Amino acid sequence: MSTTSIPSGRARAKTWVSFNRFRAWLVASAVRPEARLWLVIQLAILHAVLWTFILINLKAAQDVHMDVAEAWGWGQKFLWGYGKHPPLSGWVAGLWFKVFPATDWATYALAMTTVGIGMVICWLLSLRVVDARRAFLVVVMVALYPIFNFKGFKYNPDLLQLVTLPLLVFAYLNAFEKRSWQSGIWLGLAGALALMTKYWVLTMIGAIGLAALIHPERLRFLLSPAPWVAIATMVVAMIPHIVWLAEVHFVPLTYAGDTYSLEDSRLVHQLVAGYALHNVALLALPVALAALAMAWVPPWRKLLLRTPSRIVTRAWARGANPGVNVSQALNVWIIQIIVAVGPPLGALVFSIYMKTDWGISLFFLVPLALVAIPALRVQSATLFNIVAIWLVLSVATLAASPWIAAREMAANAGNAAIYGARSELARELTQAWHTRFGSRWAVVAGTMEQIQPLVFYSPDHPSALLPLEAWDSGLTSRDDVKTYGFIGVFDPTDGRLPAFEKWVSETAPNAERIVMTTRRFTHGKAGPSMSWNIYIAPPAK
C-alpha cells in the first residue's frame, strides 16, 4: 500500500501547486498593465466561441430570428437608412456576410462577436472608474449577464448597442477627464455612431447630458471645449443621415408612432411592470454570482461555521478607497439611474408600448455601478472565483445544450412562430420560380415576420417588399414588382390577409395563387405544419 500511496500523494500535491500557480497567474494577469488587455481579449474570444456553439445547439430546430434575417437583407445594399432604423446594423451585417456565408451558425457567431467586443469596451471604460482588479470583476459579471450570452442570440440594432453605447460612455468619461477639443471630437463621433445604430440611444445621450449638468464638477467640463466640440462633431457626422430622413419624409417616426403608441393605459402599466421585472431578473444573476464569488474566499469554511455573517460583512469597510475614482463613479451612477428610471416613466406619461428588449442596451453599467461603490472591498481571490463560475456555467450549458433544445422542442412542439419551417419554404419557392421562369427570384412581398427569413434562406436572396407598411427598407420598390415579378407569401390566419389580397389583385391581377405546406424534421422529430397562401406574379416580358 505504501508504494502506491506515496506517488498519489505527491501527484495531488503537484496538482494543487499547479492549480495555485494558475490562480496566481490569472490574478496577476488581470492587474498587470502589460498583460491585462490581452487577458480580457482572450476571455471575450473564449466567451464568444463557447456561446456560439451553445446557440448553434440550442437553435438547431429553429430558423434564424426575423430581426437577424432583416439585418442580413439590409446589408445587401449600403444605404443611409432602412425604413425603420438608422443604417449601422445593416452595414455591420453586410461586412460580416461578405466574409461568412448566409448560414445559421454565422448569425450566432456575429451576435457573439458583437457582445465580445462590447465586453472589451466595458472593461476599458471600467478602467476610467476603478482599478484593474475591479475592472476585471466587472467584465466577468458582464459575461454572466444573460444579455451577453443566451439572450443575445439575435443580432439586431438592440444588440449592436452593446458596442456603441459602452463606446459612447467611454468617450464621455474620457472627455470629462481630459476636457480637450480632441476628446470632444471622439465623444461626438461616438455619439453619432450610437445614433446610427438606433434612435433609442437618445435615452443614453440624454442621460449623459444630464449627468454633465448634475455632476458637482460640471463647470470645469462645461467651460471646456469638449462638450461643445462633441455636439458640433455629432451634428456634422449625422448630416448624411438627416438628409436621408428628409428624403423619406421621416418615415422612421411614422413607424415608431404607428407601432408603439398605445391608448390602453392598463396595458401600458402592465408592459412597464413587465419591463421592470424582466430586467431586474436578468441583472439578479450576475449580481448574485458575483456575491457568491466574494463569499467564496478563504477562510470561508471557518467563517461559515463560526460567524456566518462575516462572509458578507468582510467585503465591506469604511474609509477611502484608492481603487475607485469617485468623480467618474458619480457619472456612472447618475447615468445608470437615469436610463433605468427615465424610459419606464416616459412610457407611462406618453402611453408607449414598452418592449422588454429595449432594456438590452441600458443596464450594462450596473456591474460597474455596483463594483464602484467605495465601501466594497474586492479581494484577489474573487477574480479567480468569478472566472471559475463563468467557465463552469458556460461549459455545463454547452454540454447540456442538445438536451435543453430537445426539451424545449418537446414542450413547444406546436409553436409555429418558433419552429415553423420557413427555410424549407424559401427553398421550395426558389425552385418553383426557377421552374416557371428560369430566372432569379428578385422580390418577395408580405409581412416582415413571414418574408424576412425567406430573404435569408433562399439561394436567390430576393429583396423584401412590405406593401402594407409605410416604412419600406428602400432595397426594392413597388415599380420593381412590375418589372421583375414577385412571390407574395401570407399567413392565411393573419387578419391583414384581405388587405394583402387587395394589393395583389391591384398589382398583379393574373398572379398564380397556390397553397404550400411545410414541416421540418429535426433528429427524427416533426415540427409544426404550416400552410401559406402563395401568389406568384411573373416578370414583365
Rounded distance, CA 350 to CA 257, Å? 11
**Distances, alpha carbon 285 to alpha carbons 143, 281, 391, 478, in Å:** 11, 7, 15, 48
Flag whether pLDDT at 1 surpasses 60. Answer: no
3-state DSSP of 335-404? HHHHHHHHHHHHHHHHCECCCHHHHCCCCCCHHHHHHCCCCECCCHHHHHHHHHHHHHHHHHHHHHHHHH
Rounded distance, CA 94 to CA 65, Å? 17
pLDDT (tens digit per residue) in 140-183:
999 999 999 999 999 999 999 999 999 999 999 999 999 999 99
Burial 306-338 (b: 16+ CB within 10 A, else e): eeeeebeebbeeeeebebbbeebbbbbbbbbeb
Residue 298's pLDDT band (boundaries 50, 70, 90)? Answer: confident
Higher pLDDT, 309 or 226: 226
pLDDT of residue 306: 75
Three-state SS for 46? helix
* Contacts (Cβ under 8 Å, ≥6 apart) of 170: 121, 124, 125, 128, 190
Q: Can you give the length of the chain in residues?
A: 541
Is there a contact between 87 and 74 (Cβ–Cβ < 8 Å)?
yes
Flag whether pLDDT at 438 surpasses 90. Answer: yes
Query: Would you say the pTM of this structure is higher than 0.85?
Result: yes
pLDDT of residue 539: 95
**What share of the chain has pLDDT > 90, as a percent?**
77
Rounded distance, CA 117 to CA 101, Å? 21
Flag whether pLDDT at 318 surpasses 80. Answer: yes
| Beta-sheet strand order (sheet of 512-518) | 463-465, 443-445, 486-490, 530-537, 512-518
Residue 15's pLDDT band (boundaries 50, 70, 90)? Answer: low
Q: Residue 516 belongs to what H/E stretch?
A: strand 512-518
pLDDT of residue 11: 58
Mean local confidence (pLDDT), 197-219:
97
Is there a contact between 121 and 160 (Cβ–Cβ < 8 Å)?
no
Mean local confidence (pLDDT), 435-457:
95
pLDDT of residue 134: 97
Other CB atoms closer than 10 Å to residue 351's CB: what's the count?
14
Residue type, 121: I
φ, ψ (nearest 5 deg) of residue 534? -115, 135
Flag whether pLDDT at 2 surpasses 60. Answer: no
Higher pLDDT, 150 or 2: 150
* Contacts (Cβ under 8 Å, ≥6 apart) of 225: 179, 180, 181, 184
Mean local confidence (pLDDT), 253-272:
86
Flag whether pLDDT at 503 surpasses 60. Answer: yes
Whole-number mean pLDDT of the chain? 92
Q: Which range is least confidently modeled, 9-13, 21-25, 136-140, 499-503? A: 9-13
Mean local confidence (pLDDT), 459-473:
89
pLDDT of residue 17: 57
Flag whether pLDDT at 353 surpasses 70. Answer: yes
DSSP assignment of 107-171 equals HHHHHHHHHHHHHHHHHHHHTTTB-HHHHHHHHHHHHHSGGGTGGG-S-SHHHHHHHHHHHHHHH
* Contacts (Cβ under 8 Å, ≥6 apart) of 438: none
Mean local confidence (pLDDT), 94-121:
98
pLDDT of residue 158: 95
Other CB atoms closer than 10 Å to residue 454's CB: what's the count?
27
Flag whether pLDDT at 410 surpasses 90. Answer: no
**Distances, alpha carbon 147 to alpha carbons 56, 104, 363, 418, in Å:** 17, 19, 9, 20
Residue 526's pLDDT band (boundaries 50, 70, 90)? Answer: confident
- Distance from chain centroid for Cα 469: 26
Beta-bridge partner residues of 488: 445, 535
Residue 261's pLDDT band (boundaries 50, 70, 90)? Answer: confident
Residue 4's pLDDT band (boundaries 50, 70, 90)? Answer: very low
pLDDT of residue 255: 82
